Structure 1
Amino acid sequence: MAVPKRKMSRSNTRSRRAQWKATAPTLVLCPNRACGEMVLPHTACHNCGQYNGKQVLSV
């Protein structure tokens, strides 16, 4: 098992952790023109219940 030979300095640890970024989720407009809600891509709309032009959820 690999074990570090020296303690990692605070600046090296913090500069490595500085790359941990949370990205905002990608949102697209609902294809239903009457709805126009922002939804995740490739998912059914929670507002109108449509996916790919078809009603898939009863709202």
Structure 2
Amino acid sequence: MSSRMRITSGKARTRRSHHGIDAPRLSTCVKCGSFHLRHRMCDTCGTYKDRQVIDINAKIEKKNERRVAKMKSLGIDPNAKDKKEAPLDVKKLSEKKKK
């Protein structure tokens, strides 16, 4: 490559200045008011152009049924809640640990 053919960094960056990605254009759902991509179904309520396309509630219930069945097959009680750690206590944190 000869120096005559070289493209300076400024020239290359000027050319690439138009290659940026724009933010997606979003529309609001008429039924629930959440944002969705244009010409696409609303992921929150399952409607498109004021028409119910997918029953989201049935889909969620089916997903929960599969989750419960899997937990039962693994021998885990699906209704039992996970034990969460006790919230942090200021007094316990401020005490120095004795050896």
> Counterpart in 2 of 1:46?
43
- Which protein is bigger by CA-based radius of gyration? 2
- Aligned to 1:24, the other structure's residue is in SS state coil
Structure 1, residues 4-54: CA drift from partner, whole Å, max 9, x if none? x6111111112112222110000011011xx11011111110000011111
Query: Higher relative contact order at CA 8 Å, sep ≥6: structure 1 or structure 2?
Result: 1
1:12 corresponds to 2:22: no
Query: Given the two structures, how large is their TM-score scaled by the length of structure 2?
Result: 0.49
User: Which residue, out of 32, 40, 58, partners 2:55?
Assistant: 58
Q: Which amino acid aligns with 1:25?
A: P
Q: Which amino acid aligns with 1:23?
A: D
Unaligned runs of 5+ in 1: none
Instruction: State the distance in 2 between where 1:17 and 1:56 align.
Output: 41
- Aligned to 1:39, the other structure's residue is in SS state strand
Residues matched between the structures, number: 53
Unaligned runs of 5+ in 2: 57-99
Identity score, percent = 32
Q: Segments of 4+ in structure 1 off by > 4 A?
A: none
